[in-house]
Amino acid sequence: MEKTKWQEKETYTAGELAKLAGVSARTIRFYDKKSLLQPAAYSENGYRLYNKNSVEQLQKIRMLQYIGFSLDEIKEKMESGQAEKWTEILQKQKRMLEEKRQQIDRMILLIQDAMDEYRSDEQIHIDRLTDILQLISTEKAFDHGYFFYQSNTTKSEEWFRWTFDELNLAENARILDVGCGHGNIWTKNWNSIPAGSTITLVDKRKTCIEFLQEFYIGNKQYLQENVTFEFIVADVEKDWKIEKCYDRVVANHLWKFISQKESLMKKIKAVLCPGGFMLSTYSAYGLLEAIQEVLIQLAVPMDLTELIRRKESDRFLLEDKMKHCFPKVICETFSNRIEGLDHPEALVTYIRNCDEGLLNIVELMECEQKLKAEWKDYSIWKAEIRNPLYKCYADR
C-alpha cells in the first residue's frame, strides 16, 4: 500500500508541514504563537518538529476558520475537547450560517417590497419611511428570536409537527393561512397534508408568495392526492377580500405586525365554517426569566423585569382580544428547552433583539463583556420555555 505524504516521515519541520498543508511557514508560526498548534517535539538544534497528528490538527484549524469560527473560538474548542465532535460542530455552524443567510434574505425581501411600493413615487414620505424602518426592525427581531429557538432548543422540529397536528385536519379540508410568511407549517409537513385539502396562502410580501409558489411547483409530486394551493398577495389588515368559508384559519406569529387586532379577528371569525377555528401561535415565554437568573448569579447590573412585564402584558392583552371576538378560546402549551449554548454572547444578542427601547445600550455592552469573561457554564446551561398556541372557535 502506497504511503501518503505524512506517513513517509515521523516528524516534520515547520517548513515541511507548511508545504504539506499548502500554507506558509509564517502561518504555522502564527498558529503556534496563538497556542493552537503546538510542536510534537524539538530537534537537537531547537527547531520545532511536528507529526501526523499535527497535520490533522492544522487541517481542523483551517476548516474551522473557513466555516466562520474565530481563532479564540477554535482555541476554546480545542482546549475543551469539543473539536473532536466534528458532526456536532459542523451542524451547529451550518445552522448559524443558514440563520444569517435567511436573515439577509428577509431584509432583501423587505427592501424589495418597499421599492415595489414606491416605484412610481420619487419621494417617500417621512411617515411611511418610518413605518418601513419600524417594520424592518420588528421583522429583524422576530427573525432573530425564531432562529435562536431553532438553533438552541431541543424540540425545534417537533414544534412544527405539533402545531400541524393541532389543526386536526380531515380530508377535503379548507384552510386559510393569513400572513403565511415562508409557510413552515406546510413545507415541514408537506406529505402529511390530507388528501383533497385546499390551502389558501396570503401574505403582503410578494417575494414570500413567490417562494411558496416555487416550492409548490418543485414538490407537488410529494403531496397526497388532490391537494391544491392558492396564492394571494395582499395585506390582510388593509385589503381583506376573503369571502370563502374555511374549516381552519392559521395566523402564526402574525399579531406582532397587526395594529388593529380585533378588527382582523372579527374578519377571520366571519369566514370560519361552523365548527371551525383559528389556530394562532405567539411568542414563547420563559427564556427572559431564565436569562434574568443568570444575570443575578453573575451580579450583572441589568434588570429585565420591565421587559418581561411588557412581554407578559402583550400576551395577556392578545388573549383578552381573542376572548372578546370568539365565543370559545383554548390555549395549549408546547414545552421546549435549551440545553447549552454555542457561545455566551447569544443571550445578549437575543436580549438586544427583544428590547423595545427599555434597556440601556451601555448596560447591554457591559453585560456582554461580563458574560464572555465570567460565564463558564453556558455550554451546559438549561432553560425551560413555553410556546403558547391558541384555538379560537367560531362557535361554542
Domains 5-79 and 156-393 share a fold: no
The CA-CA-CA angle for residues 292, 293, 298, to 5°, reads 100
Start-to-end C-alpha separation, the chain: 77
pLDDT of residue 136: 54
pLDDT of residue 1: 41
Cell numbers describing residue 293: 437568573
* Domain spans, the chain: 5-79, 86-152, 156-393
Helix and strand element counts for the chain (H, E) = 14, 10
Whether the predicted model's global pTM rises above the 0.85 cut? no
Q: Say how far apart CA 318 and CA 339 lie, in whole Å.
A: 30
Cell numbers describing residue 204: 403582503
CATH of 5-79, one of 2.60.120.1060, 1.20.1630.10, 1.10.1660.10, 3.90.420.10: 1.10.1660.10
Calculate the alpha carbon distances from 50 to 43, 84, 94, 194 in Å.
10, 19, 31, 61
The strand pair at 174-178 and 246-250 is best described as: parallel
Q: Say how far apart CA 334 and CA 155 lie, in whole Å.
A: 10
Contacts of 275 (CB under 8 A, 6+ apart): 247, 393, 394, 395
Q: Which residues of the chain have pLDDT under 50?
A: 1-7, 83
The DSSP string of 4-34 is: PGGGS-S-EEHHHHHHHHTS-HHHHHHHHHT
Is domain 156-393 given the CATH code 3.40.50.150 in the classification?
Answer: yes
